[in-house]
Amino acid sequence: MSELWQLSAREAVALLRRGEVTPGELVEVALARIEATDGALNALPTLCPERARQAPLQNAAEKGEEPGWLAGLPLAIKDLVEVAGVRTTFASPIHADNVPQESNILVERLEANGAGVLAKSNTPEFGAGAQTFNEVFGTTTNPWNTALTCGGSSGGSAAALAAGQVWLASGSDLGGSLRIPAAFCGVVGFRPSPGRVARHPATSPFAGLAVEGPMGRTVGDTALMLDAMVGQHVRDPISLPIPARSFQSAVDEPQAPLRVAFSRDLGLGPVEPEIADICAAAAVRFEELGATVEEATPDFTDAIECFHVLRAAHMVTAFDELLAEKREFIKPDLVWNIEQGLALDAVAIGRAERVRAALYHRVVDFFEHYDLLLSPAVIVPPFSHEQRYVEEVAGQRYDNYLDWLYLTFVVTLTACPALSLPCGFSQGELPVGLQMIGPPRGDHALLSAATLAEEMFGIAGRLPIDPRI
């Protein structure tokens, strides 16, 4: 029983379905693992074990003992997502004592599909940034080296998975918040197509920059969680119906891509040579699957500026009233980003929308020639958790908390599904993530290719790990 935390999510669900273990027993296993490891990580600051014990039983009874996709599996929910009756802070001192009365529809859907919500995972304030720290719970560290950052903003989820605290965890992604912590912690973070996972409440329900998505230690686990998350909901105007074919079927019956493109930098800026070399070596291995691999990338001209404008406008939608009322309680990086948005005019926003539209059509044309696009997920390996953000790479200075994230945030603009898959290790024995990007609405094909790559790379079996102090 004590070794159940080492199982994959799919293995644990199989035991639950056969009745060889109960949801309550898995809750106890997870709690023991959290107690043993979270002092070093600070990944899951809020626990709700009774909910994890009772919700699967209640939902099974209501559905005539149908266990759902997850069959009672305990998991973690990012602390940006409301869970009824459970402290949900959004990592902000403004909401430090917030206990919502209703759950986000993501939580409702997961619980209806058999999830047991066990914990809330740590995140930067309002999810802003790729380094997980805040004034409510403090800093989350990286299990591979606890002196380093786990990334963000889904950093608590990634660290908890890598250390075996939970089998699955939720994340969200606007500029890379699923993919970056997955890369830093050696797990899988999947950014699905916009609309694939319904969102509510959301301040921008018609927008498609921010998405919710699954995180797991393997591609198969991530597909399992995605199956439990997806579906149309009347409160989300862009939400998509449940597909006719499960996402796990793409994992169980994978098909290799025929034409693969790789770029060391997407034509945009510097990447640490070691990171680029590891990802390039991983890309070449797709030839073992019978694919043709070429160096190529869509034209991302003006994409960095475009993202800055659209993100800043998004920040105004979400936070301008809060800035006016609670400015002194908001971290400086977020204040800067909101004020960027307040300084925009209609001409700048209109131009950014036109740039994004042109980029999308170039990407559609690109995927008429390639099945898959690969790049590094992050331009650097994990850095000190005392550093707010990367300030310089290869002589390129960054004066804000966003610019160093360009490899992921320009992909956000394309609306393509994307994930980070562990593909190797640095000389410092830190995981390196390969960003894999599929064609528009190509979630199944992307998971299929990632499954075959995961088998080639052979890294998933190295998790979970004990935190390395």
Residues 138-178: pLDDT tens digits? 999 999 999 999 999 999 999 999 999 999 999 999 999 99
In tens, the pLDDT along 306-352 reads 999 999 999 999 999 999 999 999 999 999 999 999 999 999 999 99
Choose among 213, 208, 204: nearest CA to 195: 208
User: What percent of the chain stands above pLDDT 70?
Assistant: 98
Identify whether 66 is part of a domain: yes
**Joined tokens for residue 188:** 């899988």
In tens, the pLDDT along 209-268 reads 999 999 999 999 999 999 999 999 999 999 999 999 999 999 999 999 999 999 999 999
Catalytic residue among 8, 103, 121, 153: 153
The pLDDT confidence band at residue 135, using thresholds 50, 70 and 90, is very high
CATH of the domain at 283: 3.90.1300.10
Choose among 418, 454, 296: nearest CA to 368: 296
Respond yes or no: is residue 78 known to be catalytic: yes
Identify whether 468 is part of a domain: no
pLDDT at 58: 75
The pLDDT confidence band at residue 66, using thresholds 50, 70 and 90, is confident
pLDDT at 65: 65
Residue 59 has pLDDT above 80, yes or no: no
Identify whether 347 is part of a domain: yes
pLDDT at 1: 67
Q: How far apart are the first and last CA of the chain?
A: 26
pLDDT at 430: 98
- In which domain, by residue range, is 454 found? 4-462
Identify whether 126 is part of a domain: yes
Catalytic residue among 177, 263, 420, 448: 177
Please give the distance of CA 237 from its chain centroid, rounded to a whole number.
Answer: 22
Catalytic residue among 78, 92, 103, 154: 78
Identify whether 467 is part of a domain: no
SS (H, E, C) the chain: CCCHHHCCHHHHHHHHHHCCCCHHHHHHHHHHHHHHHHHHHCCCCEECHHHHHHHHHHHHHHCCCCCCCCCCCEEEEECCCCCCCCCCCCCCHHHCCCCCCCCCHHHHHHHHCCCEEEEEECCCHHHCCCCCEECCCEECEECCEEEEECCCCCHHHHHHHHCCCCCEEEEEECCCCCHHHHHHHCCEEEECCCCCECCCCCCCCCCCCCEEEEEECCHHHHHHHHHHHCECCCCCCCCCCCCCCCHHHHHHCCCCCCEEEECCCCCCCCCCHHHHHHHHHHHHHHHHHCCEEEECCCCCCCHHHHHHHHHHHHHHHHHHHHHHHHHHHCCHHHHHHHHHHHCCCHHHHHHHHHHHHHHHHHHHHHCCCCCEEEEECCCCCCCECCCCCCCEECCEECCCCCHHHHHHHHHHCCCCCEEEEEEEECCCCCEEEEEEECCCCCHHHHHHHHHHHHHHHCCHHHCCCCCCC
In tens, the pLDDT along 178-223 reads 999 999 999 999 999 999 999 999 999 999 999 999 999 999 999 9
In tens, the pLDDT along 433-468 reads 999 999 999 999 999 999 999 999 999 999 999 999
**How many Cβ atoms are within 10 Å of 10's Cβ, its own excluded?**
19
pLDDT at 238: 97
pLDDT at 55: 83
Average pLDDT over residues 130-139: 98
Domain count, the chain: 1
Residue 367 has pLDDT above 80, yes or no: yes
pLDDT at 167: 98
Identify whether 404 is part of a domain: yes
Identify whether 303 is part of a domain: yes
Residue 61 has pLDDT above 70, yes or no: no
Identify whether 410 is part of a domain: yes
Is residue 264 within 8 Å of residue 230, measured between CB atoms?
no
Residue 71 has pLDDT above 80, yes or no: yes
Mean pLDDT in the chain?
A: 97
Is residue 446 within 8 Å of residue 374, measured between CB atoms?
no
pLDDT at 52: 97
Q: Alpha-carbon distance 131 to 150, whole Å?
A: 7
pLDDT at 175: 98
Residue 62 has pLDDT above 80, yes or no: no
Least confidently predicted of 1-15, 22-36, 61-75: 61-75
Residue 60 has pLDDT above 80, yes or no: no
pTM exceeds 0.95 for this model: yes
pLDDT at 384: 98
